[in-house]
Amino acid sequence: MTSLALKPALQPNQKLSPKSFNFEPHKSRLIHDLNVGRLSKAISTLDLMVHNGAHPDLPSYSLLLKSCIRSRNFELGKLVHAHLVNSKLDLDSLTLNSLISLYSKNGDWEKADSIFRSMGNKRNLVSWTSIVSCFANNDLGFEAIVAFLDMLENGFWPDEYCFAAVFRACLDTGDLSIGETIFGFVIKSGYFKADLCVGCSLIDMFAKGGGDLNSAYKVFDKMPEKNVVTWTLMITRFAQLGFAREAVDLFLDMVLSDLVPDQFTFSSVMSACAELELLSFGKQLHSQVIRRGLAFNHYVGCCLVDLYAKCAADGSMDESRKVFDHMTNHNVTSWTALITGYVRNGGRYHEAIKLFCEMISGHVRPNHFTFSSILKASASLSDLSTGKQVHSLAVKLGLASDNCVGNSLISMYAQSRQMEYSRKAFDNLFDKNLISYNTIVDAYVKSFESKEAFDLFHEIDDVEFGANAYTFSSLLSGAASIGAIGKGEQIHARTLKSGFDSNQCISNALVSMYSRCGNVEAAFQVFSEMVDRNIISWTSIITGFSKHGYAERALTMFYEMLESGIRPNEVTYTAVLSACSHAGLVSEGRKHFNTMYSKHGIVPRMEHYACMVDLLGRSGLLSKALEFINSMPFMADALIWRTFLGACRVHGNTELARHAASMILEQDPHNPAAFVLLANLHASMNQWEEVAKIRKRMKERDLTKEAGSSWIEVENKVYKFHVGDTSHPKASEIYNELDRLVLKIKELGYVPNTDFVLHDVEEEVKEQYLLQHSEKIAVAFGLINTTRSKPIRIFKNLRICGDCHTAIKYISMATGREIVVRDSNRFHHIRNGKCSCIDYW
DNA sequence: GTAGGGTTAG
């Protein structure tokens, strides 16, 4: 029979008479094919039946439609509709309702609406509910509410399905007041108690629509009957709205209530667990997932990848990779979860880029999250060429103006110091949000283009969202990094106006800004006025005093911090040890180094060892320092040897310096700092042949030392000078002032120290070289352009040169001005011929 | 025929 029936399908032109065509087996085969998802087979069977004049009856069509909807075979459903129209059957409510549902679920709300309109008095409660639901599911919340009100006017009393639909509609409009009115209505009607679904839609109306978890939880709590879906919904909303702790607690309550979590529940609770970085709890969840046979679910897998990645601080990044490798197939989400993990939590950028390439060659299309992560990886590696390739791929896929991708492009180009491209990415953004503004402001600030940063800052005032704490702290750190105290003060005023005066994050940024701009007293005042201080506040002020050479005040603050019950961290100890080192407090420093682990359980890191090497080395205990280096529990890195080399130079020990330099070059053969320090050392001993050899080696390896530059802020504008800079319009005026100053300070006893000149030339020429140092130019510029009432604040990217240090001390004497110099290492407060560093730096 | 929950994020 079956083989006979198949024949006509192969020969469509051959028509059998309706009588000879057996309708029943085809009908049952059609339904079977439908149920197992064989869409094309079902279509050909239907065609065959109709072709042979055997139209199914109305109940059969109805059944067909239901199957199509249940299996989401919308194409076949539409075909069935076409056949229905041809069959000229008089459609009943049931069939028409099915058609509304079909088109609604297929996203064609207009078609659904026209069927509903054509129904006339065939409309029943299900028809009304279907159309309300159709509008609500197709982002037409307002239309849905109107339909709901129409329904009431037409005398239909809503049931639980209908209430659930209208609450979803209220969620969509964002207008909860209508929803709340209807909610009152529901309570009166008694449906609330009866139905799980009404409860769920109410929870979501409050949680998703209004972000009001309190009301959502009240609904949840009062529901007399709850199932897995209800619990999961509540857990999910807690997790999504940033209440991870509550989500986890609710999950534990759920398990205690003997409900069995499913794949949805696990996905949500694992997200919350990832947020809280609860590795061991996460592992328990993982084993439960395996036990319940849910490990192969794609969503669950993604969540696990993300969970282990977010706990990567505890070394679980490889676990994340393992879960990923065990997954049977991968889509954008799982690839992105893993890539993001390598970038954000593991700092393993090369691996992330490699994965990205694998993903693309596997024809998986990256999305905006993928681009965002991979751009961050290229930025962190300062790998401009990869960044550009990724950019062009994003353009190709039409994602470059997406907010998330665009913001990452801004920071990628900024980190590669391509501000023009960075700005272009900003301008190309489709829709700029506060993060876009904050990113570009931060980028300008970090590239010393503070004017652009502040222009944009004013632009933020004109858009609907104002600056937030992030904007302010970014601008403050920008002002701090360039030492623009005037700008810093302006921002300080603005934060007060914007009501951020007790914001801990901003106060911390202010402490750091004032201190880094050279006014540690202002920093201390902000600190003193803070109501709520955290470890960052204390560490900032300790670092401030330390960098300014006030070792005792730094240590006093440290003891006060301990008394107030705040535990120090690694950064605090770096500040404490470097305070001791700047002031030459050898035994005090040793004491703190020894107690950091014994009293506070902090294992010393490389930078702490470096502080100790600095402390011992600078106070002349070179052999002790070397002994210390050799007794370290790990191999000394380039930083340690550079510190040691610096000490050797101060104390003129060529032999040990050579050893240190060779150690640096062993680990980092292209380190220009090692070459320069070595060259300086030989120059100061007049060993010019050695200097020449080193210069040659540097040239061969194409190494250039970072150019020395100094800058000064005058009337909110930063002026930057390089060595021998003549680019400033008033250059001749500046050099005249310098010549005048040198004559004056020579009278006071200044003798140029030509040891600091790295060229083998006549003494007189050497003096000329010294005069061209950027810090001297900046001081002269400052003397011409500032009033006596304020100190002159100079900033230098490298360490101050010894001759400049001496010269500036004499200049302070000759002019009666206070001069503050911030170099790459510390502050020098120079007044009346004396420096706060006591010539020890 | 009408109803509810999940992954990656600057």
Give the residues across from A820 on adjacent strands: A793, A829
For residue A59, the SS3 value is: helix
Percentage of chain A exceeding pLDDT 70 = 95
| DSSP secondary structure, A343-365, as one string | IIIS--HHHHHHHHHHHHHTTPP
Q: In the predicted model, what is the mean pLDDT of residues A462-476?
A: 79
Structure tokens at A143: 């239309």
d(CA A649, CA A184): 82
Q: How many angstroms separate the CA atoms of A233 and A270, rounded?
A: 14
pLDDT digits (tens, 9 = 90+) for A164-220: 999 999 988 878 888 889 888 888 887 777 788 889 999 999 998 888 899 999 999
- Domain match, A422 and A338 both: yes
The answer to the question of residue A203 being in a domain is no
Alpha-carbon distances of A259 from A131, A251, A294, rounded to whole Å: 35, 10, 16
Q: Kindly state whether residue A653 falls inside one of the protein's structural domains.
A: no
Q: Please say which residue of A523, A557, A580 terminates a domain.
A: A523
How far apart CA A577 and CA A604 sit, in angstroms, is: 11
- Phi/psi at A329 (5° precision): -145, 160
> Distance, angstroms, CA A62 to C1' B1?
9
Closest alpha carbon to C1' of B10, residue: A404
Number of domains composing chain A: 3
What's the CA–C1' distance between A123 and B6, in Å? 36
List the one residue out of A375, A432, A430 whose CA is nearest residue A398.
A430
Residues contacting A73, CB < 8 A, separation 6+: A34, A37, A39, A42, A67
Whether pLDDT at A35 is above 80? no
Q: A348 and A421 share a domain?
A: yes
pLDDT at res. A6 = 33
Domain residues for the domain of A743 are: 711-835
Residue A1 pLDDT grade (very low, low, confident, very high; cuts 50, 70, 90): very low
Closest nucleotide (CA of A231 to C1')?
Answer: B5
- Name the strand (E) or helix (H) holding A822: strand A819-822
C-alpha distances out from residue A567 to A149, A537, A564, Å: 62, 12, 9
Residue A110 belongs to what H/E stretch? helix A109-118
Q: A812 with A727, same domain?
A: yes
* pLDDT of A725 above 90: no
Q: Kindly state whether residues A403 and A508 are assigned to the same domain.
A: no
The neighbour count for residue A384, using CB atoms within 10 Å, is: 18
- Both tokens of residue A693? 């050899």
Q: What is the pLDDT of residues A86-110, one digit of tens each?
A: 888 999 999 999 999 999 999 999 9
CA of A404 to C1' of B9 (A): 8
Which residues contact residue A62 at a Cβ distance below 8 angstroms, ignoring those fewer than 6 apart? A94, A95, A98
| Residue with token string 């085969």 | A29
Tens-place pLDDT, residues A379-412: 998 889 999 999 999 999 989 888 899 999 999 9
The pLDDT of residue A92 is 94
Instruction: State which of A196-200, A469-473, A689-693 shows the largest mean pLDDT.
Output: A196-200
Is the domain of A724 the same as that of A820?
A: yes
Length A143 CA → B1 C1' (Å): 21
Q: Is A69 helix (H, G, I), strand (E, B) or coil?
A: helix
Domain-located, residue A497:
yes
Q: How many CB atoms lie within 10 A of CB A603?
A: 9
List strand residue ranges (DSSP E) for A591-696, in order. Answer: none
Q: How many CB atoms lie within 10 A of CB A654?
A: 16
DSSP states along A141-188: HHHHHHHHHHHHHTTPPP-HHHHHHHHHHHHHHT-HHHHHHHHHHHHH
Count other Cβ atoms within 10 Å, centred on residue A698.
18
Least confident span in A143-157, A229-243, A252-266, A792-806: A792-806
Q: What is the DSSP string of A240-258?
A: HTT-HHHHHHHHHHHHHTT
Question: The domain that contains A336 carries what CATH number?
Answer: 1.25.40
Does any domain span residue A663?
Answer: no
- CA–CA distance from A765 to each of A214, A761, A762 (Å)? 78, 6, 5
Q: How far apart are CA A346 and CA A342, in angstroms?
A: 5
User: Rounded to 5 degrees, what are φ and ψ at A517?
Assistant: -85, 0
DSSP state of A754: G
Final residue in a domain of this structure, among A397, A431, A465: A431
User: Can you give the distance from the CA of residue A274 to the C1' of nucleotide B6 in angstroms?
Assistant: 15
Q: Is residue A345 part of a domain?
A: yes
Residues A718 and A806 in one domain: yes
- CA distance linking residue A158 with residue A164, whole number of Å: 10
Measure the CA–CA gap between A471 and A469, rounded to whole angstroms.
Answer: 5
Burial (CB count <10 Å: 0-12, 13-18, 19+), residue A119: middle
- Cα–Cα nearest to A827, from A475, A483, A525, A446: A483
How far, in Å, CA of A807 to CA of A255, rounded? Answer: 75
Three-state DSSP string of A26-90: HHHHHHHHHHCCCHHHHHHHHHHHHHCCCCCCHHHHHHHHHHHHHCCCHHHHHHHHHHHHHHCCC
Cα distance between residue A11 and residue A22, in whole Å: 17
pLDDT tens per residue across span A258-299: 899 999 999 999 999 999 999 999 999 999 999 999 988 999
Instruction: Quote the CA–CA distance of A770 and A766 in Å, as a whole number.
Output: 6
Find all residues with CB under 8 Å of A483, minimum gap 6, and list them.
Answer: A516, A517, A518, A711, A713, A718, A793, A795, A822
- Of all protein residues, which has its CA closest to the C1' atom of B6? A264
Domain boundary residue, one of A474, A497, A523: A523
Residue A134, CA: closest nucleotide via C1'?
A: B2
Are A837 and A810 in contact by the 8 Å Cβ rule? The answer is no
Say what the pLDDT of residue A237 is.
94
Question: What's the CA A642/C1' B10 distance, rounded, in angstroms?
Answer: 37
The 10s digit of each residue's pLDDT in A590-638 is 999 999 988 988 889 888 999 999 999 988 899 999 999 999 988 888 8
So what's the pLDDT on residue A20? 66
Tell me which residue of A242, A652, A265 sits closest to A250, measured CA to CA: A265
Q: Give the integer Cα–Cα distance in Å for A548 and A827.
A: 5
Mark whether A457 and A427 lie in a shared domain. no
Is the distance from CB of A563 to CB of A578 less than 8 angstroms? no
Q: How many whole angstroms separate alpha carbon A75 and alpha carbon A66? A: 13
Nearest residue to A650 via CA among A612, A611, A617 = A617
The verdict on A390 and A495 lying in the same domain is no
* Confidence at residue A17, expressed as pLDDT on a 0 to 100 scale: 54
Q: What is the pLDDT of residue A3?
A: 35
pLDDT at A688: 80
Nucleotide showing the shortest C1' distance to residue A407 CA? B10
Strand B positions within 7 A of protein Cβ atoms:
1-10
Q: In sequence order, what are the beta bridge partners of A709?
A: A722
Instruction: Indicate if A718 and A818 belong to the same structural domain.
Output: yes
Q: Which nucleotide is nearest to A298 (CA to C1')?
A: B7
Phi-psi region of A766 (alpha: psi -120 to 50; beta: other; left: phi over 0): alpha
Each residue's pLDDT tens digit, A763-800 = 777 777 888 889 999 999 999 998 888 889 999 988 88
- Number of Cβ within 10 Å of residue A700's Cβ equals 8
CA of A165 to C1' of B3 (A): 7
The answer to whether residue A660 sits within a structural domain is no
Answer yes or no: do A409 and A458 share one domain. Answer: no
Helices A74-87, A39-51: inter-axial angle, 10-degree rounding: 10
Asked if the structure places residue A717 within a domain, the reply is yes
pLDDT at A11: 42
Q: How far is the CA of A705 from the C1' of B6 (A)?
A: 54
Looking at the structure, tell me whether residues A339 and A384 fall in a common domain. Answer: yes
Can you tell me the mean pLDDT for A666-670? 79
A519 contacts A485 by C-beta, under 8 angstroms: yes
Longest dimension (CA), chain A: 127
Stated in angstroms, how far is A306 CA from B6 C1'?
14
Which of A497 and A18 is assigned the larger pLDDT?
Answer: A497
Query: How far in angstroms lies nucleotide B9's C1' from the CA of residue A231?
Result: 26
Cα separations in angstroms, A573 against A538, A603, A605, A608, A619: 11, 11, 10, 7, 20
Amino acid identity for residue A100 in this structure = I
Question: CA A604 – C1' B9 distance (Å)?
Answer: 35
pLDDT digits (tens, 9 = 90+) for A307-365: 999 988 778 899 999 999 999 889 899 999 999 999 987 788 999 999 999 999 988 99
**pLDDT tens, A505-523?**
899 999 999 999 989 999 9
Measuring alpha carbon to C1', the residue closest to nucleotide B5 is A233
Name the pLDDT band for A577 (thresholds 50, 70, 90): very high
Q: In the predicted model, what is the mean pLDDT of chain A?
A: 87
Residue A144 pLDDT more than 90? yes
Tokens of A799: 């360490």
**Within-domain flag for A201:** no
